Amino acid sequence: MITLLKSAKIIDASSPFHQQTKDILISDGIIKKIANSIPNKKEYQLVKKENLHVSCGWFDTSVSFGEPGYEERETIKKGLQVAAKSGFTAVAVNANSNPVIDNKSAVEFLINKANGFATKLYPIPSLTQGSKGIEMAELYDMQQSGAIAFGDYKKPIENDNLMKVSLLYAQNFDGLILSFPKNNAIAGAGIAHEGINSTKLGLKGSPALAEHIQIARDLFLLEYTGGKLHIPTISSAKSVELIKDAKKKGLQVTCSVTSHHLVLTDNELHEFDSNFKTNPPLRTNSDTKALQKGVNSGVIDIITSDHNPMDIEHKKVEFSEAKDGVIGLETAFGAVNSVLELEKFIEKITSNPRRIFGIETTSISEGKTADISLFNPDEKYTFTKGYILSTSKNSPFINKKLIGKVYGVFANNQLILNS
């Protein structure tokens, strides 16, 4: 199959065609030619879209699918289809399934289940057995089977020595350790950011201090042990400062922020809509602004959707009883594109995550494998339930105005487009 992308503006700092509008000819999954104009022959699969932009394929480093165990939330097949139509050619899948992904057989199950799809799946199995935070899992065996990092999803490692030993042990095979930034003793039973809104609404507060203490502990341990640490989904201004200072010291620490924490605040909680119940919780406007600044300055390395489907039985209940989590694949681009420069978003979701998680980088250049996201960064629209592709519908962006629509991807020699 030969595919021709017509009049595509290339956003790829590693490409000689960066910021240029070109035709792109792809044959057998390889970019054969990039030129001002390539004649359209009848046998070509033609892609011609309004204001078409292309970049290297987007990589989401924190995605949850229900399978195995919670298929009613999202299967791997459905999740990868949603990811492709949302512009992602690769996703890193968390271990929060049933059973938990904590051994080499489970890692291989995920990889085999995802074989043949346009979007590639990379497992992030749990750091500890059963994600219980007691005994370290068989990290080396899982890496040999295809794991790219290790972390207990949304569960902090409370045992200081266990985190220390994990950071030391992973250095033997250049492993990447994830540590969720939350101190449970400080957070307690909090379900919203501790502040004015939680007080007004009568919701138990979870202070940002719980995040700061955990990050500070992990950074002290990292300074002692060496190794590589990734702190997923930070949410506060102070967290940005802590990580900024650690990077100045030369520590190998990276971090991510979710698309919803970059644009939403705890002001959204006044309707007690459980679609806004997240972990970490939505925080203040000053935190959101600090996170945006952290992305622009380079302190924050990665933007993730933190896609976490929840079925209606766990979401359409009282706010205090609802489970945390939002779906985010479909809205990650449109949400963040409204507050960040396009090239900054592309950097945080293409080259940076691949470098940090040890995945080969790509380039939109002749002779390279075609791994491409297709989108229109300028289209404005209101996101409604009709735009939701996921099995679960727990989106915090329903009826929100977004800027930027995704057309689809070309990856693994497959063209996947939104209808």
- The verdict on residue 192 lying in a domain is yes
Do 73 and 117 fall into the same domain?
Answer: yes
DSSP state of 270: G
Do 236 and 248 fall into the same domain?
Answer: yes
Do 306 and 328 fall into the same domain?
Answer: yes
Do 265 and 181 fall into the same domain?
Answer: yes
Residue pointed to by tokens 């919701």: 203
Do 109 and 158 fall into the same domain?
Answer: yes
Length of the chain: 419
Do 410 and 301 fall into the same domain?
Answer: no
- The verdict on residue 118 lying in a domain is yes
pLDDT tens profile 150-176 = 999 999 999 999 999 999 999 999 999
pLDDT tens profile 319-369 = 999 999 999 999 999 999 999 999 999 999 999 999 999 999 989 999 999
Q: What are phi and psi of 182, to 5 degrees?
A: -155, 130
Output the domain CATH number for residue 41: 2.30.40.10
Do 294 and 331 fall into the same domain?
Answer: yes
Question: For residue 287, which of 156, 154, 151, 196 has the smallest C-alpha distance?
Answer: 196
Residues 274/299, Cβ–Cβ less than 8 Å: no
Do 232 and 338 fall into the same domain?
Answer: yes
Distance CA 381, CA 183 (A): 39
Cα of 83 vs its chain's centroid, Å: 11
- The verdict on residue 308 lying in a domain is yes
Cis-peptide, bond into residue 68, ω within 30° of zero: yes
Do 6 and 84 fall into the same domain?
Answer: no
- The verdict on residue 389 lying in a domain is no
- Give the residue numbers spanning the domain of 160: 57-356
- The verdict on residue 100 lying in a domain is yes
Do 173 and 137 fall into the same domain?
Answer: yes
Residues 259/337, Cβ–Cβ less than 8 Å: no
Residues contacting 99, CB < 8 A, separation 6+: 68, 69, 106, 130
Output the domain CATH number for residue 319: 3.20.20.140
Edge-to-edge strand ranges of the sheet holding 58-63: 58-63, 88-93, 120-123
CA diameter of the chain: 65
- The verdict on residue 394 lying in a domain is no
Do 314 and 232 fall into the same domain?
Answer: yes
Structure tokens at 312: 């209606």
Catalytic site includes residue 60: no
Is the overall model pTM greater than 0.85, yes or no?
yes
Which residue is catalytic, options 102, 152, 266, 306?
Answer: 306
Residues 66/113, Cβ–Cβ less than 8 Å: no
Digit-by-digit pLDDT tens for the chain (419 residues) are 899 999 999 999 999 999 999 999 999 999 999 999 999 987 899 999 999 999 999 999 999 999 999 999 999 999 999 999 999 999 999 999 999 999 999 999 999 999 999 999 999 999 999 999 999 999 999 999 999 999 999 999 999 999 999 999 999 999 999 999 999 999 999 999 999 999 999 999 999 999 999 999 999 999 999 999 999 999 999 999 999 999 999 999 999 999 999 999 999 999 999 999 999 999 999 999 999 999 999 999 999 999 999 999 999 899 999 999 999 999 999 999 999 999 999 999 999 999 999 999 989 999 999 999 999 999 999 999 999 999 999 999 999 999 999 999 999 999 999 97
The angle subtended at Cα 63 by Cα 53 and Cα 403, nearest 5°, is 35
Amino acid of residue 178: L
3-state SS, residue 232: coil
- The verdict on residue 392 lying in a domain is no
- The verdict on residue 323 lying in a domain is yes
From residue 29, alpha-carbon distances to 2, 262, 369 in Å are 8, 35, 6
Domains held by the chain: number: 2
Residue pointed to by tokens 């020595």: 161
Q: For helices 160-170 and 209-225, give the axis angle rounded to 10 degrees.
A: 40
3-state SS, residue 323: coil
Exposure on the CB side of residue 81, measured as CA atoms within 13 A: 11
Residues 174/184, Cβ–Cβ less than 8 Å: no
Do 187 and 142 fall into the same domain?
Answer: yes
